[in-house]
Structure formats: C-alpha cells, structure tokens
Amino acid sequence: MAKIKRNKNGTRKDVIISKAAKLFREKGYNATSMRDLAEHVGVEAASLYNHISSKSEILQEICFKVANEFTSHIEEVYASSTNSIEKIEAILRFHIRQMVDNYEEVYVNDREWKHLSDPYLSNIQNQRRSYRQRIAQIIEEGIRKDEIKSIDAPTAVLIMLHAVSGIESWHRSKRKIPGALLEDNMIMILVDGLRR
Amino acid sequence: MAKIKRNKNGTRKDVIISKAAKLFREKGYNATSMRDLAEHVGVEAASLYNHISSKSEILQEICFKVANEFTSHIEEVYASSTNSIEKIEAILRFHIRQMVDNYEEVYVNDREWKHLSDPYLSNIQNQRRSYRQRIAQIIEEGIRKDEIKSIDAPTAVLIMLHAVSGIESWHRSKRKIPGALLEDNMIMILVDGLRR
DNA sequence: TTTTTTCGCTAACAGCTGTTAGTTTTCCAT
DNA sequence: ATGGAAAACTAACAGCTGTTAGCGAAAAAA
C-alpha cells in the first residue's frame, strides 16, 4: 500500500536492485523468487514491474555496473607508469576494497553471472576474459623485467582473483579484523608469493 | 526403455550422481531440473526415483562424500610429525589434486552446499568451519615457531582455500598446462607468500 | 521355464515461477 | 483543492518444479 522509500539520491529501482543483490548473494539468483524480493522490499511482486522490466534485468544491472568499474580501473592502472609489482598491488588493493565496501554486488557479479542470457552472457564473458588477460600481461612483463619470479602467468591470475573473492568468508566471520588490516595481510601474502 | 548402463563396479545410483555433479557444476543446483538430469541419464524423470529418494539426496551424497575425504585427510596431516610449512604444503597439494582429478564433485561441494537443508546444512557448515580452524591452527603454530611470517591466520586460510578453488578456470581454459605443473606453480606462489 | 525382483514407462498432482492486465490508491504540481 | 502521473493493488495466466501411483517390460533367481 505504501510506496517504496527511496534512499537519498536514489531511485526506487536502486532500492530494488540493492535488496536483490543482498538476496542473490545469500541464496543465489535462481533460488530468489520475485515474491521473495517483493516481500523484502515491502510490496507485492507485481508492483516491482513498475520499476524494472524483468528479473534478469536486475542481474544485468548488477553485473555490468560492477564489471565496468573493474574494467575501467584496470585500464587506468595498465596505462600508469609504475613497475609490474606496483601495478599488481594496485589491482589487488582495488579488488579488496571493492569486495569489502561493495560486497553484495561484487559477489553477485562473481558468482551469478552464469545465469545471464545472451547477448549479456557472452558480453560479460568477454569482459572477464580480457580482464584476466590484462593481468596476465602485466605479470609476463614483470617476469621479463625480472621483477616477478618465473611462473605461469594464468595460474598466478587465477590465484589472485579467487583469493580475493574469499573475502566472502571474512564478511561472514564473527570477529572480523579491520578491513585495512585484511588488505595489508592479503597483499603481503600474495605479493610476496610473486616477487622475485 | 533401456536400462541405465552401469560403469564397472558402480551402481546405477552412482551414474545418476556423477551426471548430476556435472550438471550442478555447470548450471547450479537450482537451475538443474530433474527432467534435465533424466535426459542426460537417458531416462524419464520419474524413473530416477527408483534409485534415489529425492533431488536433495543427490546433493547430500556429493557434498558429504567430498567433505569426508577432506576431513579425514587433514586429520592425518595434522597428526603427522612434520613442520608447519610441510603440513600446509601437504594440505594444499591434496586440495589441488582433488580439484584436478575430482573436479565436478569437489566444485559442487564448494559452491552448492548452501542449498542443503537442515540437518545436513548445519552439519556441513560445522565440518567446513572445523576444517578451516585446523588449518588456522597449523599456521598459528608455524608463526609461533617462526617458520611462518607473522600474519592473520584466518586471512591466510581464506586465501589458500579460495585460491585453490580457482582451478575451476584452469579446467575451463583452452590450453591447460599439465596438472603437475599447475600444482607446482600454485605451491610456489602460495607457500612463498607464507614462508618467513 | 516359471517366478520374482528390478526398473522403466505414462499420467497426474499440487505448488511455485515470472509476468501481464486492469483497477485503485497515493502523492506531487498546479 | 484538483487533475494527472506514478505506483501500488488483485487476479490470473501458462509453464515448469519435484514427486507419486500404477502398470508393464526386462532381467535375475528359482
């Protein structure tokens, strides 16, 4: 009966998407029904369609918002005039901060993108692939310049990216260490594993 | 019409579970219907119920089979008389091999356990928690003995476990490096990140 | 061969899914 | 205060979900 309360500077659609991100993260995209979502928003399921056009549009908005931020950040880092280790560190720190501050949406992007359908599916797959390739490129450059130990670059990428997504368990743990400390610990372990 | 073909030394139920593991891995538990599964097994959906009692029983069997193997292995390592770094390395190598050789089921256990329901859900949650605690315990012991650098143990655990689950992308990649090489690369990066 | 067990089939169920149509209420701008 | 837009409601849809019942065929045991 009552209207959805907007947050300051946000549309009602934003409210729906942010509640959806929380539910998608907790239960997964497929296990979250529109009636579930509606209840958490405080409205009937049909009413959601005054603000969005489909369930999958919600997933699309979440995934592309996150993916675009990551893509534009990595291009910035790649173009910067720093050495390979510094670049890797910058990328890692950005990842960790995003995962700490923007948990729900980043996590959903990471785990639920499979449930997109074409053309969005192939689009996000391409975006993810070229993201990994950029990192691999930086690592290979570092190996050539003897800044990074001689390892298989795709393997290093895989470790980095998945290690970061483990921040999920940090969020779920009772007694969290502060975010900044988490960041430093992760950097220490991961970067020291790479450094020559 | 024709019966499900058993593999040597396997029941028809095993065939169903192994096909299910593949589908659950590809599309997720909720997105895999019994009719989907039946089609891949070569049978009508209702016929599956001659061998299993419910869809969730399939997930239970997958998850507990995997979880039990990991639990019993870590206890073995924990009891062995080796130093902390060697223990961590042994655990990591076991993880990597399981992830390489028994991909589908290990992956499903890792990503889909959420969809279990009580009492199985709390059971697997406990098992996973005590697994992480065992590793943290080994790391803390290593820090005390100055074998491992002074880091937050839960963070190190989180990195290790999630990094390993990234072997998913290795499986999906076109040109894989050999499994043994993958293993050595991962050990090099992860263990060198820990070593004092 | 006959009997018994195992296992596949078809048909059907009740409940849930995302979504639409049509109507009524709420609220902002005039 | 009032007209119009925005957004809520109810009712309903077609399709899919996991699962059961009952029956006939195939294979195993006798």
CA pair distance A192, A177, nearest whole angstrom: 21
**Mean per-residue pLDDT for A165-175?**
90
Contact call for A28 and B115, based on CB within 8 A: yes
pLDDT of residue A1: 63
Q: Residue A49: pLDDT above 70?
A: yes
CATH superfamily of A12-50: Homeodomain-like (1.10.10.60)
Q: Residue B7: pLDDT above 90?
A: no
- Domain B55-194 belongs in CATH node 3.40.50.300: no
Which residue from A95, A194, B155, B100 is spatially nearest to B92, judged by alpha carbons?
Answer: B100
Task: Tell me the β-bridge partners of A195.
Answer: A148
pLDDT of residue A165: 93
pLDDT of residue B4: 74
Q: Quick one: which H or E segment has residue A131?
A: helix A120-144
Cα of B125 vs its chain's centroid, Å: 14
CA pair distance A38, A59, nearest whole angstrom: 15
Q: How far is the CA of B57 from the C1' of C3 (A)?
A: 33
The confidence band for B185, taking pLDDT boundaries of 50, 70 and 90, is very high
Q: How far is the CA of A193 from the C1' of D1 (A)?
A: 73
List of chain A residues whose C-beta atoms are within 8 Å of the C-beta of residue B191: 193
Q: What percent of chain A has pLDDT over 90?
A: 86
Q: Residue A163: pLDDT above 70?
A: yes
List of chain B residues whose C-beta atoms are within 8 Å of the C-beta of residue A169: 132, 158, 162
CA pair distance B163, A71, nearest whole angstrom: 21
pLDDT of residue B25: 97
Per-residue pLDDT of B121-149, as tens digits, reads 999 999 999 999 999 999 999 999 999 99
Per-residue pLDDT of B171-183, as tens digits, reads 998 888 999 999 9
Q: Residue A23: pLDDT above 70?
A: yes
CA pair distance A117, A113, nearest whole angstrom: 9
* Average pLDDT over chain A, rounded to an integer: 93
Q: Residue A9: pLDDT above 90?
A: no
pLDDT of residue B23: 98
Of residues A174 and B60, more confidence is placed in B60
Q: What is the largest CA-CA distance in chain B?
A: 65
- Compute φ and ψ for A85, nearest 5 degrees: -60, -40
Q: Chain A, 119-138: which have a CB under 8 Å from a chain B CB?
A: 132
Per-residue pLDDT of B15-48, as tens digits, reads 999 999 999 999 999 999 999 999 999 999 999 9
Residue to mutate among B152, B174, B182, with most A CBs inside 10 A, is B152
Q: At A110, list the tokens.
A: 């990471």
pLDDT of residue B8: 57
CA pair distance A62, A57, nearest whole angstrom: 9
B171 CB near a chain A CB, below 8 Å?
no
Instruction: List residues with CB under 7 Å of strand C.
Output: A 1-3, 32-36, 45-46, 49, 53-56; B 1-4, 12, 43-47, 50-51
Per-residue pLDDT of A107-152, as tens digits, reads 999 999 999 999 999 999 999 999 999 999 999 999 999 999 999 9
CB B71 within 8 A of CB B127: yes
Q: Provide the residue ranges of all domains of chain B, joining segments of one domain with +.
A: 12-50, 55-194
Nearest residue: Cα versus C1' of D24: B1
SS3 A195: strand
pLDDT of residue A3: 76
B188 CB near a chain A CB, below 8 Å?
yes
pLDDT of residue B174: 87
DSSP characters over chain B: -PPPPPPTT--HHHHHHHHHHHHHHHH-STT--HHHHHHHHTS-GGGGGGT-S-HHHHHHHHHHHHHHHHHHHHHHHHHSS--HHHHHHHHHHHHHHHHHHSHHHHHHHHHHGGG--TTHHHHHHHHHHHHHHHHHHHHHHHHHTTSB-S--HHHHHHHHHHHHHTHHHHHHSSSPPPHHHHHHHHHHHHHHHHB-
Contact call for A177 and B155, based on CB within 8 A: yes
Which amino acid, one-letter code, is at B163? A
Q: Residue A172: pLDDT above 70?
A: yes
pLDDT of residue A145: 93
pLDDT of residue B165: 93
